[in-house]
């Protein structure tokens, strides 16, 4: 929109604005001129309901006064504040300045508090009710949209209370998840597994890992395939690997749903959950508190 920064638009807006104000002044003078004197009555000739007559009386003085005050206010405002094209106003006020001052004032107030919390280890912070309250407020602002206001998650968004962790549940792991974000990479396996049947076989094997009913002959083939394709990330016993965010497949707790259809879909198409990085955006002090809050939730059970 570089066009709108040109001199032309500055003058276009400034002149139009001034002309509009002058036009209002002219309009009000024109409307008040030529009225009849106080004690005479003149009608406009309009009559309704046989006796309701419209009189041609001047506008009340107080009302006119208000109108002039509004116009004067407009004039002063445009001299003091930005509004007339690119003229910045004699007060040099800008919304950015005001915002930055407000932010600085709040930082000065809460900064020391956050700094104090940041120096406290997370395992100690979870015993500090005040700290957890601040953590909860941050959580509700920045995390609840994805993980839910009760932190129980939703399909594709992990439950943060249940003690099952993709990327590890130590205070440090949790803090890293929030600071740096996480990108899960579970490739699509339909082709390598030889199509739908291969997917079905591995799905049946996974069911057996969490103790669910399985079709034995499929599951046996599935185990061979699992040992070839899946061990690298999910481990020989299917317990997962927090270094890669690969979930435990034996606990019957499913991020993407535990029905046979959902599990085969995860295998066939792959899954690539993403946790956005919050470190730069929130700063380490807030992330530290958030990590304490989340760690605290998982310790409640």
DSSP three-state, residue 249: coil
Tell me if 236 contacts ligand HEC by CB under 6 A.
no
| Residue 142 in the binding site for ligand HEC (CB under 6 A) | yes
Candidate residues 125, 126, 158, 268; the one interacting with ligand HEC per rule CB under 6 A? 158
Interacting residues of 174 by C-beta distance below 8 A, sequence separation 6+: 122, 168, 291, 294, 295
The interface mask with ligand HEC, positions 175-214, x = CB under 6 A, is: --xx---x-xxx--x------------x------------
- Give the three-class secondary structure for 246: strand
| Site for ligand HEC, residues 12 to 31, rule: CB under 6 A | none
In the complex with ligand HEC, which residue's Cβ is closer, 84 or 178? 178
DSSP letter for each residue of 137-175: HHHHHHTHHHH-TTS--BTTB--SSSS--SS--SHHHHH
Q: Which residue is nearest to ligand HEC (CB)?
A: 273
Burial readout 137-161 (b: 16 or more C-beta within 10 A, e: otherwise)? ebbeebbeeebeeebebeeebbbbb
Stretch that binds ligand HEC, among 3-11, 34-42, 210-218, 232-240 (CB under 6 A): 232-240
Determine the Cα–Cα distance for residues 37 and 56; give it in Å rounded to an integer.
Answer: 10
Report if residue 126 touches ligand HEC, rule: CB under 6 A.
no
Is residue 292 near ligand HEC by the rule CB under 6 A? no
Is 294 a binder of ligand HEC (CB under 6 A)?
yes
Tokens of 71: 């116009």
Q: Which of residues 260-279 bind ligand HEC (CB under 6 A)?
A: 263, 266-267, 271-276, 278
Please answer whether residues 93 and 81 qualify as being in contact, where contact means their C-beta atoms are separated by less than 8 angstroms: yes
Task: Name the one range near ligand HEC by CB under 6 A: 18-26, 84-92, 103-111, 242-250.
Answer: 242-250
Contact 187, 164 (CB under 8 A): no
CA distance 22 to 280: 51
Q: Rule CB under 6 A: which residues touch ligand HEC? A: 142-143, 145-147, 156-158, 160, 165-167, 174, 177-178, 182, 184-186, 189, 202, 229-230, 232-234, 244-247, 254-256, 263, 266-267, 271-276, 278, 290, 294
């Amino acid at each position: 929109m570089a066009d709108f920064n040109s001199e032309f638009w500055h003058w276009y807006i400034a002149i139009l604005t001034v002309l509009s104000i002058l036009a209002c002044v002219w309009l009000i003078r024109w409307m008040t001129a030529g009225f009849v004197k106080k004690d005479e009555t003149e009608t406009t000739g309009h009559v309704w309901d046989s006796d309701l007559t419209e009189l041609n009386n001047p506008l009340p003085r107080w009302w006119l006064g208000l109108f002039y005050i509004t116009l004067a206010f407009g004039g002063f405002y445009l001299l003091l504040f930005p509004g007339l094209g690119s003229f910045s106003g004699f007060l040099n006020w800008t919304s950015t300045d005001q915002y930055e001052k407000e932010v600085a004032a709040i930082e000065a107030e809460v900064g020391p508090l956050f700094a104090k919390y940041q120096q406290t280890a997370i395992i100690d912070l979870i015993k500090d009710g005040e700290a957890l309250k601040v953590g909860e407020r941050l959580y509700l602002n920045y995390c609840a949209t994805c993980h839910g206001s009760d932190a129980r998650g939703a399909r594709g968004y992990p439950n943060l209370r249940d003690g099952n962790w993709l990327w590890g549940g130590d205070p440090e792991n949790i803090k890293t998840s929030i600071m740096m974000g996480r990108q899960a990479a579970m490739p699509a396996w339909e082709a390598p597994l030889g199509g739908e049947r291969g997917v079905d076989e591995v799905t049946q094997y996974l069911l057996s890992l969490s103790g669910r009913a399985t079709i034995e002959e499929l599951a046996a083939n599935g185990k061979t395939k699992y040992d070839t394709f899946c061990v690298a990330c999910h481990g020989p016993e299917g317990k997962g690997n927090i270094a890669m965010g690969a979930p435990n497949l034996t606990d019957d707790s499913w991020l993407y749903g535990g029905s046979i259809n959902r599990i085969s879909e995860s295998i066939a198409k792959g899954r690539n959950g993403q946790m956005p990085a919050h470190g730069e955006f929130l700063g380490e002090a807030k992330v530290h508190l958030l990590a304490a809050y989340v760690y605290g939730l998982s310790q409640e059970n």
